[in-house]
Homo-oligomer: A and B are copies of this chain.
Amino acid sequence: MSKQTKFLLNESQMPKAWYNINADLPFAPEPVLHPQTLEPVTPDFLSVLFPMSLILQEISTEQYIEIPEPVQEVYKLWRPTPFFRAHRLEKALDTPARIYYKYEGVSPAGSHKPNTAVPQAFYNKEAGVKALTTETGAGQWGSALSMACNHFGLDLEVYMVKVSYQQKPYRRNLMQVYGADVYASPTDRTNYGRSVLAENPDSPGSLGIAISEAVEVAAMSGGAKKYSLGSVLNHVLMHQTVIGEEVLMQLEMADDYPDVVIACTGGGSNFGGFAFPFLRKNLQDGKQTKIVAAEPAASPSLTRGKYAFDYGDTARMAPVVKMHTLGHTFVPPTIHAGGLRYHGMSPIVSALVDHDLVEARSVKQLDTFKAAVTFARAEGIVPAPEPTHAIAVAIDEALKCKESGEEKTIIFNLCGHGHFDMAAYDAYFRGALEDFEYPEAEIEAAMKLLPVVG
C-alpha cells in the first residue's frame, strides 16, 4: 500500500489542444438532416442556434483544435484533474486487476461538464452573443454552463427537467449562485412546453422536452439568444477530450496502459471525452484496448435502441441524426442518474458501437448504487449516480479478473461527485429505489414514429 495513489499533472502540462476523432474515423460520417425537409442541413441552418466558430468545429476534420488561451485560463481553476490508483478498491475486491480512475468531481460544478461549458461560453461571447439558453437533466450541465456564462459575462436561461428540479434543488441553487435563471421544464414559457402541459399537467419532463424548450426560445429570439448543448454534438465531445488526453500522460507516469476503458454515457460527452484518445491509440497505434460505454438499463439507447435517423428532441425541432435511439417520444423513467435520461446518443458514439469499435453495456439502477457504496467505502469519494454505471462495469471486470487470475489494467472516469445526490443514497438505503425495465412493446411502438429517411 505504500505505492503511489495519485498521479498529478501541473497546469503547465495541461493539454493545449482538443482531439477531434472525426479526423481518424475509419468510416464516413452520416449527414445531419433538417427536421422538416429531412435533407442535409447547411451551416446556415445551424447558425440560428450556434455561433459559426462552433459550427466549424462540429464539421471539422482537423485532428487537433487549439484550446484558446482564455479557455485554458478558466480550465486552470480545476484542471488538470487527478488520476488515482484504486489500491483500496482492489483490496476490497481481492482482485489481481489494477484499477485506476480519473476524477472530474474537483471542478467547481462538481462534474466534467465545465470542460465544454467554458469554451462554448467563450466562443459565443467572442461572436457577440449576449445570452444563452440550455436544458439540464440532473443539473450538472446547467450548473457548469451557469459558471461559464458568469465567467464570460453572458446571461443564461436554463430549462431544468422537472423531476430533477424537484429532486435536486441544490443544483438549482448552485445555478442561482452563478446568476442563471432556472425554470422547471415543461414550462409555460414556450409553445412546446404549453402543449406538453396541456396533454399532461403532471409531466415529469425529460431531456428531450427541455431541449425543445431551450431550442425554441433561442430560435424565436431573432438572433438575441443562442442555444448551448451539453452533450451529443461532435464539438461537445471534442471539448471533453482534455480528460482522456490527461489520462494518457498520467498513465505514462504510472508506467501502465489500460486493457479496459470504461465510461458512462447518456448523450456521450463524458464517454467520448474519456475514451476517444484511447480509440485513437487503438486505430493508429495498434493498441487493443476494450472500450466500454456503460448506460442505464432504464434508458438503454445503445443496448436496446435502434441505429437509425431520429430527431434529437421530442418536439422535432432539432436536427435529425443517425444514432442509437429509443424514439424521440421516449420519456425515460425517473432514475436518479438524471444526466443519462436521454432517448438518443451521440452519432459518433453510435457509429462506433455499430462498427464494433466500442462495446455497450447496460446496468440496472440498484446494481449501480451497490457498486457506488462499495467504491465509496473503499476510496472515500461518493460518486454521482451517473458514473456509478462505469464503476459497476469496472467492478464486474475486476471480479472477472479475480476468477481468471488475469492482472488486467482497468480504468474508468469518475465524472462527478455525489454530494448533490445524497437523497438518492438515502432512498437506496431505505429500500425505496427501484429497477426499471422498458417494455419491448413500447420500444417497438416508439420505433414506428421514427422519421422515414431516404
Contact = CB atoms under 8 A, between A and B. Distances in A.
Contacts of A4: 11
A110 B380 contact: no
Contacts of A108: 376, 379-382
A342 interface: no
Contacts of A298: none
Nearest to A69: B2
Interface residues of A, number: 49
Interface stretch (A199-207, A325-333, A401-409, A420-428): A420-428
Contacts of A173: 422-423, 425-426, 429
A380 B147 contact: yes
B177 A73 contact: no
A6 interface: yes
Contact of A8 (B2, B10, B376, B429): B10
A291 B84 CA distance: 36
B11 A429 contact: no
Interface in A59-78: 69-70, 73-74, 76-78
Contacts of A11: 4-6, 8
Contacts of A426: 169, 173, 176
- Interface core residue of A74, A106, A420 (most chain B CB under 10 Å): A106
B179 A377 contact: yes
Interface in A159-179: 169-171, 173-174, 176-179
Given A5-B76, A110-B419, A178-B376, 4 more contacts: A4-B11, A8-B10, A77-B88, A170-B170
17 contacts: A2-B69, A5-B11, A6-B76, A8-B11, A106-B106, A107-B380, A108-B376, A110-B419, A147-B380, A150-B377, A169-B423, A170-B420, A174-B419, A176-B429, A177-B376, A178-B377, A420-B422
Interface of A: 1-2, 4-6, 8, 10-11, 69-70, 73-74, 76-78, 84, 88, 106-110, 147, 150-151, 169-171, 173-174, 176-179, 373, 376-377, 379-382, 417, 419-420, 422-423, 425-426, 429
